[in-house]
Structure 1
Amino acid sequence: MAGKYIIGSLVATFGVAYVCDTIISDRKIFGGTTPGTVSNKGWWEETDKKFQAWPRTAGPPVVMNPISRQNFIVKSQSE
């Protein structure tokens, strides 16, 4: 009996959170715009190239974009 109230309240909570997120971030009810650094794919590619070319002197090379590459340590092909 209590389970249906718990599940119902969880579903309602996620619904309210989704609606609030959509209204605040997508419809921008408080104003503002999406920065060009987020929406411009060319800017993102150039920034990624810069980070990948960044010299590291304190350890093994690490991929600098943790979202798309999960920050794995890069191994050379000879190892």
Structure 2
Amino acid sequence: MSAAKIVGALVASGVVAYICDTTISDVKIFGGTTPSTITNKEWQEETDKRLQAWPRTAGPPVVMNPISRQNFIVKSRVEE
């Protein structure tokens, strides 16, 4: 019986957290707007260019934000 109550409480807390998150961030009950730096594609492209142009002195060039770029470099293993 106690396991059912624990699972029910976890599900209920997840639902409450989702409703609170949606209400605060999407409905914006406290006011405010989404910044143009998030919605403007030109701003994102310029930011990405600046990040990629960042000089690195410690090693070879890397992708600063690999999740959005989706161009991971995978080195193949050389079997001897």
Mark yes or no: TM-score above 0.5: yes
Root mean square deviation of aligned Cα = 2.3
What is the aligned residue count?
A: 74
Q: Does the residue aligned with 2:55 lie in a helix, a strand or coil?
A: coil
Which fold has the larger relative contact order, with Cα–Cα distance below 8 Å and residues 6 or more apart in sequence?
Answer: 1
Unaligned runs of 5+ in 2: 76-80
**Any conservation in 2 of the 1:61–1:73 contact (CA below 8 Å)?**
no
Q: Counterpart amino acid of 1:64?
A: M
Structure 1's unaligned 5+ residue stretches are none
Q: Structure 1 length normalisation: TM-score?
A: 0.78
Shift of 1:55: 1.7
Residue identity over aligned pairs, in percent, reads 74
Match of 2:78 in 1: none
Note the alpha carbon deviations across 1:25-78, whole angstroms, 9 max, x for none.
1011111110000111121011101111222123222221154359x7898xxx
Match of residue 46 from structure 2: 46
- Secondary structure class of the residue paired with 1:10: helix
TM-score using structure 2 length: 0.77
